[in-house]
Amino acid sequence: MELPQARLATMEARFEQIERLLSDPAIAARPNELRSLGKEHSDLKGTIEAWRRYRIVADELQEAKSMLRGSQGEERAYVEQEIASFSRTYNELQEQIAAALVPKDPNDDRDVIVEVRAGAGGEEAGLFATELFRMYQRYAETKGWKSEVLSSSTSGVGGFKEVTFAIKGRGAFSRLKHEAGVHRVQRVPQTESSGRIHTSAAAVVVLPEAEEVEVEIDPNDLKVDVYRSTGPGGQSVNTTDSAVRIKHLPSGVEVAVQDEKSQLQNKAKALRILRARLLQAKQEEQDQAMSQERRSQVRTADRSERIRTYNFNENRVTDHRIGYTVHRLGEILEGDLDDLVDALASSERTETLVGPAS
């Protein structure tokens, strides 16, 4: 990763200018300006200190590499240890600076609403959608986050046609936003007698959850229908008009929820999903520079549009966006996602700093 040195030099010059201004008695007599400069100084300090340390370590690393060429025996072993130490510090500082330079996503600290939909692949796709849902639930548990199913529709063999659930926890969106896309699975289904590998897919959408005050919904803009639940749930569910379908007329966004026995509970959940979808649309309109992939997230669950492949025969998970492959599929499906999430976040930082790879 190459750091934007010209940008960092400009930031350092500004930091030094602020330090001079903060010692100026004339500035001290203007509280508002003093407060503003103090905040800017505080915002820059960590990055500039890391940048200065980074340059020192880079010089030390280069000097050690030069010494290595003429050293041998114990001296060479010592220099190699120094190079390893300097390299670790160099890489850590590089990551720290890169992270500081990336503009913070205003949604990063939000709770999320995740939608998983079975795509191409028939019943096997429904079973895979269920595994993805459980994978995210387990990941949430490792983080101490809470999850709640908002809406679901099951398939005939016990899988999900689609499931929508909320995950509540600080930073949930920042850790899960890269999961949006089409996930593909390759394996031999239990129903396949010939042992032929089957390919199916599921689509994942990740939405930042909106607060009521952020997305105002005029009741007059809503068409609310109630109907009898058609899914499993027992006699008390299926014999009452508890299911709710809400359509937001101005946008055409429609949400249906039938999981709860109470019509009011289903309506409340439907409104949460609706707010999240409307917030996403609102943010997209405000940021026309947002990439098409981020803006659309998932339009279809076509297998050819996959972002990640889970290959059971090879015990392999591959994220195609960053060329990341690990051979521990079982652990991934058990919610051990941190390494993968970190790799995606690092790639995002690099792309933001230097642009997408050609």
Q: Which fold has domain 219-286?
A: Double Stranded RNA Binding Domain (3.30.160)
| Distance separating alpha carbons of residues 129 and 117, to the nearest angstrom | 6
> Each residue's pLDDT tens digit in the chain (358 positions)?
678 899 999 999 999 999 999 999 999 999 999 999 999 999 899 999 999 999 999 999 999 999 888 788 888 899 899 999 999 999 999 988 988 887 777 888 889 999 999 988 788 899 999 999 999 999 999 999 999 998 888 877 778 889 999 999 988 999 999 999 999 999 988 666 667 888 999 999 999 888 765 677 888 888 888 887 765 544 444 556 788 898 998 888 888 888 888 888 888 888 888 888 888 887 776 555 434 434 444 444 444 568 999 999 999 999 999 999 999 999 999 999 999 999 998 888 777 776 555 4
Burial label, 102 (beta-carbon count in 10 A; 0-12, 13-18, 19+): middle
| Distance separating alpha carbons of residues 85 and 81, to the nearest angstrom | 6
The pTM assigned to this predicted structure is: 0.65
Question: Which H helix or E strand runs over 41?
Answer: helix 31-69
Instruction: Cite the residue boundaries of each domain of the chain with CATH code 3.30.160.20.
Output: 219-286
CATH number of 112-213+294-354: 3.30.70.1660
State the CB neighbour count (10 A cutoff) for residue 256. 16
Q: How far is CA 212 from the centre of its chain?
A: 23
| Distance separating alpha carbons of residues 308 and 131, to the nearest angstrom | 14
